[in-house]
Chains A and B, each alone.
Chain A
Amino acid sequence: MSRHDEREIARRLADTPAGEPPPELLDRLRADIPEDLAAGLEAGDEAGAPPAAPTPFSRPWLAVAATLVMLLAGGFLGWKLTQEVGPVGQSYVDGPPAAESTMDTAGSADGTGTGEAVEPTESAKATAARAVDPAGEVAAEEPTRDESRDRAAPAREAAPVGQAFEDTAIHEERPMVEDAAPTPPIGDLAASAPGTTAAPPPAPPSVPQVARLAPPSRPAGHQQGRQAAESRGRLASPEPEGMGDRAAGERSELEMMAGPAPTNPVEEKAQNRLSTFGLDVDTGSFTLLRAYLDAGRMPPAAAVRVEEVVNAQPFSDPFAGAPALPGETFRVTADAAPSPFAPDRSHRLLRFRISARELTPAEGKPVRDGTLQTVAEEARAQVEFDPRVVESWRQVGYENRAIADHEFRYDAVDAGEIGPGHSVTALYEVKLRAEPAPGRPLALLKLRWREPAGAEGKPGRFREIEERLTAEDLAASWSAADPDLRLAAVAAELAEHLRGSPHATSAPSTLLTEARRLASAGVPGAAELVELAEAWRRLDVPAADAEEPGDD
């Protein structure tokens, strides 16, 4: 007889421990009750497909009355939302440990500055590799788990590290309002103090107009995701349909987890302003795909790692002619340009290149024990996007290197080992809200790593540095972009095509043209990419249909 008969299953299901809710949860829930429940009551009707099964009006008079009320309440709601940041919004400002932030440029994390007060001189270096001021580094404290657990903020997405840009909550809470409301010019945005509201209080817009545009105060997140996906049509994995209309085509949590080779999704700024990943210098994937293509075969899609293909490229040496300063471990290059592979003109390809110093003569002795010499251990990076400038972003590659945002300073998390002279390039495809104003930061990179153990075996300390990417780092055109960035883009796009990524939307001819252009300009590595791209075109089969390895 089965040990798992139905009755037993039912008993075990019912016996699943329920857990004791944390007492402060009740306070959080109370605090979340909207001030204006009446408006919420009406606004829900606008949702069309609220989280629960939608329920059409059964009584006609109610429908008429509600339509009128809805228009009024919706208008008020829209106006009100532009007026104030809700409790969640506030939590971004005064919640998490912003003080931990290690800003070395003006503005941003102090909660009073405008966040835009970046000195023009600081950012005027454009794409040139910038030596990070060692003074800007801190010996970061080992965070306690308690610290990162601190949930003083009721926000669900409690900021795990200091937030450099402080007005996301506005976007998070009402992305559609923001889209609907006239966007103030950038100058106005820049002048507004973060932590209050983005826009100066506008006169309440005319009611019908806003009622039409204002969002159902907060429908389930999937709705926003869907709208965004529809409008853009390139979400890696569109959010699931609402529960009501999801009868068919179910995918379970487990199926999702076991799904095909994952690609990083497009992140709505509203959802997630942080990107955290372990630094990876592995380039094995490139070697592998080259071997396949040289042999006239498509590499298996799952074996193509975009970041490894990018990191295998022979980029220029940022330390050339400017050796590492004392105490300088990493040098960061940050730049961006309108990529020819992007879906449209509002996109930019952002690049952070993180280059490790070479060994000093003192360190450069033969390595004992056969161990690899490293200059940094447990190295991880976190990129924070400014939601005022960036509408959405997608990290190119690094799917397997993602680290939970809140674990950026959780040093027990496994991250990358970086050897001397190694460098890591992280690319982001970013959709801008508008052309950023001069001096305006788009993104902030934080690097955290542990220094190697000293000679006495004493564990090294953790260190952090930061680098900003500002409007000055944006090349006006692709041809004006740093050749390294262009080479990285070609490598990434080729890899995306080879792995059959949904993000590989550019025409193969675009890729070939760009690769040939770089090769003819003598950019190292470009000629090889041309060969690989041509080999790929000759095979001309989608990566998904490629043969599996192992039969020869």
Chain B
Amino acid sequence: MGKRGREEKRLLAVLRRRRGAGSEAAAEPDETTVPADREAAEALVEATWRQTYAALFRLTGGDADLAADLTQDAYRKAWAALASFDGRARFSTWLYRIAYTTFLNHARRPHLVVPLEERGAGATGDDEPPPPDRDGGRADASPPPDEALAERRCRERLRRSVLALPENLRYTVTARYWGGLSAAEIGRQEGITATAVRKRLRKANTLLAARLESEDVPTETAS
């Protein structure tokens, strides 16, 4: 557990110290305990929000607004489920799991389905807040030249392929590459060894390679 992990642990300890006092604080809100919790919670947010957002940004295929909304959602869920955090992995690892689930639940909501081609795959919400610009408001604001467009298509194809992986591989790949988690961290969270995680990654990458190969198009620039 690196420096960041230790800091997260310390902050969580601050939060958890209140656990025993929770009932009293609840029955009779205590001005002195809440700010301390809050401070720790804010520090946790500050330590993790960029990473969480980045993961969701990648999961949603670069839909900035949706990523921000899902980030907010994920934290809400995290606060509500804080007690289930058991500390076997880092808070940020646990948080990634929540963010990932939040994204999947969003993507699955059947009534939100619109063709992927027309909009960012994430921007499917019909009850979602403002959508991204239809014309290229993905990662970059200005209409990209052909090359950038091809690159983006390529990325989108890869993203879709990732999302079509079997669940355990999908989770592992996104956690590692998009969530920025180490294999060891993922292993701790999942209750498997780091070697098993790396095995999953290799298997996933092989599947992805095969899949992309099979639907390869001339615009592919990876050679």
The residues of A with any CB-CB pair to B shorter than 8 Å are: 2-10, 12-14, 16-19, 21-22, 25-26, 28-30, 32-45, 47, 50-55, 58, 65-66, 68-69, 72-73, 76-77, 145, 148-151, 154-158, 160, 216-222, 236-237, 239-240, 242-243, 246-247, 250-257, 259, 262, 264-265, 267, 271-272, 274, 276, 402-407, 412
CB of B194 within 8 Å of the partner chain: no
What residues on B are CB-neighbors of A247 within 8 Å? Answer: 167-168
30 contacts between A and B (CB under 8 A): A2-B213, A3-B222, A3-B223, A16-B58, A21-B49, A33-B38, A37-B38, A38-B37, A39-B25, A41-B22, A44-B80, A47-B84, A51-B84, A51-B98, A52-B94, A55-B84, A73-B26, A77-B26, A149-B65, A150-B130, A156-B72, A156-B73, A220-B102, A243-B100, A253-B107, A253-B163, A262-B110, A265-B110, A267-B111, A407-B131
> Are B33 and A72 neighbours in the complex by a CB distance under 8 Å?
no
Q: A3-B220, A253-B121 are in contact. Are A19 and B139 (CB under 8 A)?
A: yes
- Residues 1-40 of B at the A interface (beta carbon under 8 Å): 15-16, 18-23, 25-27, 29, 33-34, 37-38
Instruction: Identify 20 new A-B residue pairs, CB closer than 8 A, beyond the known A47-B84, A66-B83.
Output: A5-B209, A6-B202, A9-B158, A10-B177, A16-B58, A25-B71, A32-B76, A36-B29, A37-B18, A41-B82, A42-B19, A50-B83, A73-B23, A257-B115, A262-B110, A272-B127, A404-B114, A404-B128, A406-B125, A406-B130
Give a binary string over B141-176; 1 marks a CB under 8 Å from any A CB, 0 the rest: 000000000000001001110111111101101000
What residues on B are CB-neighbors of A267 within 8 Å? Answer: 111
Q: A4-B209, A37-B41, A156-B69 are in contact. Are A19 and B54 (CB under 8 A)?
A: yes
| Distance between Cα atoms of A272 and B111 in the complex (Å) | 10
Give a binary string over B64-79; 1 marks a CB under 8 Å from any A CB, 0 the rest: 1101110111011111
Give a binary string over B103-142; 1 marks a CB under 8 Å from any A CB, 0 the rest: 0110111110111100001000111111101100001000
| Distance between Cα atoms of A13 and B170 in the complex (Å) | 12
- Looking at B58, B71, B126, the one whose CB has the most chain A CB atoms below 10 A away is B126
CB of B181 within 8 Å of the partner chain: no
| Distance between Cα atoms of A181 and B88 in the complex (Å) | 37
> Are B110 and A29 neighbours in the complex by a CB distance under 8 Å?
no
| Distance between Cα atoms of A212 and B23 in the complex (Å) | 16
What residues on A are CB-neighbors of B178 within 8 Å? Answer: 13, 16
* Count of B interface residues, CB-CB < 8 Å: 106
> Are A18 and B54 neighbours in the complex by a CB distance under 8 Å?
yes
Chain B nearest CB from A543 CB (Å) reads 19
Chain A nearest CB from B82 CB (Å) reads 5
| Residue in A closest to B55 when the chains form the complex, CB atoms | A18
| Distance between Cα atoms of A361 and B49 in the complex (Å) | 63
> Are B101 and A51 neighbours in the complex by a CB distance under 8 Å?
yes
> Are B37 and A37 neighbours in the complex by a CB distance under 8 Å?
yes
Chain B nearest CB from A519 CB (Å) reads 35
Q: A26-B49, A37-B41, A76-B26 are in contact. Are A217 and B80 (CB under 8 A)?
A: yes
- Looking at A34, A45, A51, A154, the one whose CB has the most chain B CB atoms below 10 A away is A51
| Distance between Cα atoms of A13 and B157 in the complex (Å) | 11
> Are A33 and B45 neighbours in the complex by a CB distance under 8 Å?
yes
What residues on A are CB-neighbors of B45 within 8 Å? Answer: 26, 29-30, 33
Residue in contact with A251 in the complex, picked from B25, B86, B101, B108, CB distance below 8 Å:
B108
> Are A243 and B101 neighbours in the complex by a CB distance under 8 Å?
yes
> Are B128 and A406 neighbours in the complex by a CB distance under 8 Å?
yes
What residues on B are CB-neighbors of A72 within 8 Å? Answer: 23, 26-27
Q: A29-B75, A45-B83, A218-B76 are in contact. Are A151 and B209 (CB under 8 A)?
A: no
Residue in contact with B97 in the complex, picked from A36, A52, A58, A402, CB distance below 8 Å:
A52
What residues on A are CB-neighbors of B71 within 8 Å? Answer: 21, 25, 29
> Are A21 and B128 neighbours in the complex by a CB distance under 8 Å?
no
> Are B72 and A28 neighbours in the complex by a CB distance under 8 Å?
yes
> Are A274 and B80 neighbours in the complex by a CB distance under 8 Å?
no
> Are B222 and A8 neighbours in the complex by a CB distance under 8 Å?
yes
What residues on B are CB-neighbors of A272 within 8 Å? Answer: 111, 126-127
What residues on B are CB-neighbors of A265 within 8 Å? Answer: 109-111
> Are A256 and B111 neighbours in the complex by a CB distance under 8 Å?
no
> Are B81 and A52 neighbours in the complex by a CB distance under 8 Å?
yes
> Are B163 and A252 neighbours in the complex by a CB distance under 8 Å?
yes
> Are A145 and B130 neighbours in the complex by a CB distance under 8 Å?
yes
| Residue in A closest to B211 when the chains form the complex, CB atoms | A4
> Are A9 and B98 neighbours in the complex by a CB distance under 8 Å?
no
CB of B186 within 8 Å of the partner chain: no
Q: A19-B64, A22-B68, A76-B26 are in contact. Are A219 and B77 (CB under 8 A)?
A: yes
| Residue in B closest to A266 when the chains form the complex, CB atoms | B111
> Are A151 and B129 neighbours in the complex by a CB distance under 8 Å?
yes
Chain A nearest CB from B222 CB (Å) reads 5
CB of B205 within 8 Å of the partner chain: yes
Chain A nearest CB from B142 CB (Å) reads 15
Q: A19-B139, A240-B104, A243-B97 are in contact. Are A402 and B177 (CB under 8 A)?
A: no
| Distance between Cα atoms of A2 and B210 in the complex (Å) | 9
> Are A9 and B205 neighbours in the complex by a CB distance under 8 Å?
yes
